[in-house]
């Protein structure tokens, strides 16, 4: 059984090396690519002020976070929820830098990047010439993100779960995979057990579907393509 955790964080800035910290974690559990209903969501007191630029992105103020738990007090619960699951993150290097920085402050081992799937990398491979932000992917796949007026870790994780399924090939494909495989196997077995029958020629040939006018129009088109046209080879 495949267990995955869709994960997102909000922070005070863009780099832990500059003293920035995690202020929110949102995570959703998937089993075999389907949500189980189990989530992990917590606001975190970063033990520092909130820059106005960051607050404008996620709306979390210093005052709001002042009475929230510090990362140390939620670390064990977070690690237990994540456990050995595969982490699915959009722009994973950003979130993992902060998560592993927070773990290092507690002298805990980092989470291996080999345990992480980056949906931004997936999206860039699938749509190399397009915008692959979370909002852009929601628009591309028809996922309703109208509630996303600001960044929020749990909401973004919910949206990313839907995007992730689409990047894999679509929810319907995932839901029908077992049934489709079983049906295909039955068709192959049935065909193999049937006696081969000789192919009989049609008693009356099918009438042509191309009119004489269409044939003439095609001839004129090909003539206009020149002597080296592939139609003349």
* Annotated active-site residue in 20, 41, 151, 204: 151
Residue whose structure tokens are 């004129």? 220
Across 60-83, b (16+ Cβ under 10 Å) vs e yields: beeeebeebeebeebbeebeebbe
Helical ranges in the chain per DSSP H: 52-58, 62-65, 71-82, 92-105, 119-126, 134-140, 153-168, 171-193, 212-223
Strands 86-89 and 3-11: parallel
Residues in the chain: 233
Residue with tokens 């979130």: 95
The span from the CA of 52 to the CA of 50, in Å, is: 6
Q: 39 - beta bridge partners?
A: 28
Q: Is 20 a catalytic site residue?
A: no
Q: Which positions are catalytic?
A: 151
């Amino acid at each position: 059984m495949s267990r995955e955790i869709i994960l997102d964080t909000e922070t005070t800035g863009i780099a832990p090396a500059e003293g920035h910290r995690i202020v929110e974690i949102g995570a959703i559990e998937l089993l075999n690519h389907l949500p189980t209903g189990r989530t992990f969501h917590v606001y975190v007191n970063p033990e520092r002020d909130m820059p106005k630029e960051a607050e404008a992105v996620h709306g979390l103020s210093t005052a709001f976070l002042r009475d929230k738990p510090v990362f140390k007090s939620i670390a064990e619960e977070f690690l237990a929820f994540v456990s050995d699951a595969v982490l699915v993150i959009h722009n994973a290097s950003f979130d993992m830098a902060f998560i592993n920085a927070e773990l290092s402050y507690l002298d805990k081992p980092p989470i291996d990047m080999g345990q992480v799937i980056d949906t931004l990398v997936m999206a860039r491979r699938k749509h190399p010439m397009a915008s692959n932000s979370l909002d852009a992917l929601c628009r591309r796949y028809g996922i309703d993100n109208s509630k996303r007026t600001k960044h929020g870790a749990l909401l973004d994780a919910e949206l990313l779960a839907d995007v992730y399924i689409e990047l894999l090939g679509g929810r319907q494909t995932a839901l029908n995979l077992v049934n489709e495989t079983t049906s295909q196997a039955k068709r192959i077995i049935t065909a193999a057990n049937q006696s081969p029958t000789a192919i009989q020629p049609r008693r009356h040939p099918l009438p042509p579907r191309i009119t004489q006018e269409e044939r003439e129009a095609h001839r004129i088109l090909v003539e206009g393509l020149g002597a080296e046209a592939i139609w003349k080879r």
